[in-house]
Structure 1
Amino acid sequence: MADGATIEAMTNDRPDSCVEVHCGCPTLWSMAQQFCYTRLSNKKNNGAYRLINLYPARARRISATYARMYLETEEHGVPEKKGRYYWMALGAFASKTVACTLETLQLSYTRPVMGTTVREGLGQGNFWLFMDIAAWHWFYSVSPTSFDQCVGERNTDTYVDQVKQQIKKLPWEAKSLPKIDHLKVKPEVAEGFALVRQIEGMPDNRKRQNLQLRHLMAMACHEQGNILQKLIYNDPDFAWWIKVQRDDDHELRQTSGYPTRAFALAASIFSPELQITFTSQCGTSESQLKNPAPKETKLEEYDSRMLWITSVADQFHNRMIKFKGQMESELAAIAGWVGTHDGVVYPDEHPPQ
């Protein structure tokens, strides 16, 4: 994929001079989308990009980008404003969980029985959530003023032609973009970034911390309700396999008449444990560093899932207040995954730095 959002302008021969370039909202949103794409791609020697194929590698690069945005070490970051992108810190741990789930041998054991439904669903949800949420943050970092002017104009159908055509080639595009309204702004996003603007101008005190948690929950409601629920949890096949993994035999028999108790139990035994850990590692034995989903959680149901996510957010927030140095050290480790290798490494390609 070549860069289709390049802007050309006439230059001069005066050293250290500037040339003013005016970009419309569709062009700026196209550039934000290109950032998301190139982060999950390797750059070829001819200047084109190739989207990496390995789903866990994509998830680790996504985690790294979220961590870098929180830490303000991503391009256009402002270190003195660290903490304004609070959801990104939790998002880094969450995407790491997706990577670990995709990597685990337990998921491989279920593949002959479960097919690729869960793997594809996790890959699709994580990919398009990143395409949505990372672009909002990248654009705001580039120019908060332009962001305010353009926030209501994001729409993949209005991107510059080259980027519009490129997006049509992305995985799951045809069935994903209509479900998530072509990445148009939602009230939760507007609320989240209104809080970002307040947070970035405040000292690190209790009031700022309260606003950070409000921001986190606004963005969590967006990613869970507007993106993931519509992309994967509303899918009957994906939801059915989630019930199988939960070993919800009674509910399965009510909705489909099968599988047998033994089938559901076998699938649940080999399924990855559903939990968030606040480390750069996949697992931990320290209870204070993890939050497993309660047994009664129905992951496919938004309200049930949000009860658990609210608990995760509260635990995360408490640790960010009391153990910020430790938490940010884990995030710094995750930020180092930005160039995670694909399953196949070609000699003419270079991962992000």
Structure 2
Amino acid sequence: MSGSLDWDSNTNTTENSCKTVQCDCLTFWEIYQQEAIKRVSNLKSANHYKLEPGYEARARRIASVYARIYLEQEISGTKLFRGRYYWMGLGAFASKTVAAIFKHGLTAWGYKWAPVISGAIGGVLTAPVINSMIRDPVHSFAKGNLWLFMDIAPWHYAWSASSASFKNCMKARKVSGFKHIKKEVENLPWSNSLSVIKQLGWTDQIEEGFGYLPDIENTFKRAGKTRNDNFKTASKNLFDHLMAIAVQEQYNILQELVWKEWKVQKQASLQRITGLPDSTLVLTSDYGVDAVKPNKQGQYKGRHAGVLSQLPETVYSEPLEGTQVEVYDSRIKWIKVAASKYHRLMQSDKGRDFLEKELGVISGWGDSKAEFKVGKDSNDGKI
């Protein structure tokens, strides 16, 4: 199925056929890698799946999983620990932003219609220019969105299942060593990324980020304490956990898979001039920042009317002046500022309640599907 988005899971569906199996470290990781692939796939029959081809739909599904992991609604989640996976809340809003970019008219024009237009014009130079300078960066962002998810979700699934097994098996995770679903993972779009991101293996940042969780969990399970007490006591560990995971995703994954590509860099330069599409991080389920900004009279309208004015601060973060998103040091500086805003909101009951309600909305996007036919020019040529 090298040219296909179809794949078969390794789940036993035969009734009354269970056998005791000793799960080694590689199998442990394969179980949760397969769960991640399932979340962005459509079940066709029995164990047969097809990866969701739509870029926006897939980004929405990924945002949904991140939200569900934060809310402890995913497999092996523990309601008592809701909020321990601090990055996941921010990650849900970030993947929602990626979905919004895929939805944006300019992106959609280059993504869906450029081949038709360029083909109709038939110019020798027109088609390559449109395809490479508009479409290729779109595919690059889809690649980064997918493989970041393939990296980060299984780490969280595994910790939720067994922190002891996570610690024992942490350094064993490596797709090249998989025995059961290696070909399924390697058949995903842009699987040549695996060699660039170390086969989804252990990094210092993963070890650091998850190293904060035991203390966070011990704080969250204290008897007689409010959630606000717990979030304030665990404040530093929560933020440090978030930033360690942020470095993992921004430096180890996205910088390598997306931002090093010269066409993406050119598009980033153009976006700074045009402001399109808008890259503001909005900490709600809304696609556009206008939904969370006051009007000229200083009033909030729409579904957030009467709510946003009660929060300790605004719920959006625009790039800092001079931010060059393609440059890691510049981008992470803005991300830390945005993360600090998220953190301050989470440190208040009103702010946390608001953010978690919005994450609840995003958590319901798990069945999102493309609203148009996705051709073989997308998803690394797989259909």
TM surpasses 0.5: yes
1:340 pairs with 2:346: no
1:173 pairs with 2:173: no
Distance (whole Å) between structure 1 residues aligned to residue 68 and residue 86 of structure 2: 12
Structure 1 residue 295 displacement after superposition: 3.6
**Contact kept? 1:100, 1:282, Cα under 8 Å:** yes
1:3 pairs with 2:15: no
Against the structure 1 CA distance between its residues 293 and 40, is the aligned structure 2 distance closer, same or farther, given a 3 Å change threshold?
same
Q: Over aligned residue pairs, what C-alpha RMSD do you find? A: 2.1
1:188 pairs with 2:205: yes
Structure 1 residue 133 displacement after superposition: 0.1
Letter in 2 for 1:115: I
**Contact kept? 2:285, 2:362, Cα under 8 Å:** yes
**Contact kept? 1:94, 1:276, Cα under 8 Å:** yes
Against the structure 1 CA distance between its residues 282 and 104, is the aligned structure 2 distance closer, same or farther, given a 3 Å change threshold?
same
**Contact kept? 1:5, 1:30, Cα under 8 Å:** no
1:256-271 matches, cutoff 5 A: 268=274, 271=276
Letter in 2 for 1:274: S
Distance (whole Å) between structure 1 residues aligned to residue 77 and residue 270 of structure 2: 43
> Match for 2:267 among 229, 232, 241?
241
User: Secondary structure at the residue paired with 1:50?
Assistant: strand
Distance (whole Å) between structure 2 residues aligned to residue 205 and residue 245 of structure 1: 37
2:62 aligns with 62
2:33 aligns with 33
Letter in 2 for 1:150: C
Structure 1 residue 110 displacement after superposition: 5.2
Distance (whole Å) between structure 2 residues aligned to residue 148 and residue 156 of structure 1: 18
Distance (whole Å) between structure 2 residues aligned to residue 297 and residue 336 of structure 1: 33
1:279 aligns with 284
Q: What is the CA deviation profile of residues 105-151 of structure 1, one whole-angstrom value per residue up to 9, with x for unaligned ones?
A: 13234564433122111100000000000010011111111111100
1:209 pairs with 2:235: yes
**Contact kept? 2:62, 2:92, Cα under 8 Å:** yes
User: Secondary structure at the residue paired with 2:317?
Assistant: strand
1:72 aligns with 72
2:182 aligns with 164
Structure 1 residue 20 displacement after superposition: 4.8
1:138 aligns with 157
Distance (whole Å) between structure 2 residues aligned to residue 341 and residue 240 of structure 1: 30
Q: Which runs of 5+ in 1 are unaligned?
A: 13-18, 248-267, 346-353
Letter in 2 for 1:276: L
Distance (whole Å) between structure 2 residues aligned to residue 45 and residue 117 of structure 1: 33
Segments ≥4 residues shifted beyond 6 Å: none
1:197 pairs with 2:214: yes
Structure 1 residue 341 displacement after superposition: 2.2
2:134 aligns with 115
Distance (whole Å) between structure 1 residues aligned to residue 38 and residue 17 of structure 2: 27
Structure 1 residue 52 displacement after superposition: 0.9
Letter in 1 for 2:201: K
Distance (whole Å) between structure 1 residues aligned to residue 199 and residue 164 of structure 2: 23
**Contact kept? 1:71, 1:83, Cα under 8 Å:** yes
TM-score by length of 2: 0.78
Q: What is the CA deviation profile of residues 74-131 of structure 1, one whole-angstrom value per residue up to 9, with x for unaligned ones?
A: 1110001111101000000000000000001132345644331221111000000000
Letter in 1 for 2:144: G
Letter in 2 for 1:142: A
2:358 aligns with 330
**Contact kept? 1:66, 1:88, Cα under 8 Å:** yes
User: Secondary structure at the residue paired with 1:328?
Assistant: helix
> Match for 1:308 among 330, 334, 337?
334
Q: What is the CA deviation profile of residues 16-52 of structure 1, one whole-angstrom value per residue up to 9, with x for unaligned ones?
A: xxx7531011111111110111000011123311101
**Contact kept? 2:110, 2:135, Cα under 8 Å:** no
**Contact kept? 1:5, 1:31, Cα under 8 Å:** no
Distance (whole Å) between structure 1 residues aligned to residue 175 and residue 257 of structure 2: 16
Q: What is the CA deviation profile of residues 290-314 of structure 1, one whole-angstrom value per residue up to 9, with x for unaligned ones?
A: 1011241111100000110000000
Letter in 1 for 2:37: Y
Distance (whole Å) between structure 2 residues aligned to residue 321 and residue 312 of structure 1: 14
**Contact kept? 1:189, 1:222, Cα under 8 Å:** yes
1:290 aligns with 316
Letter in 2 for 1:28: F
Q: What is the percentage of aligned positions where both structures have the same residue?
A: 35
1:349 aligns with none
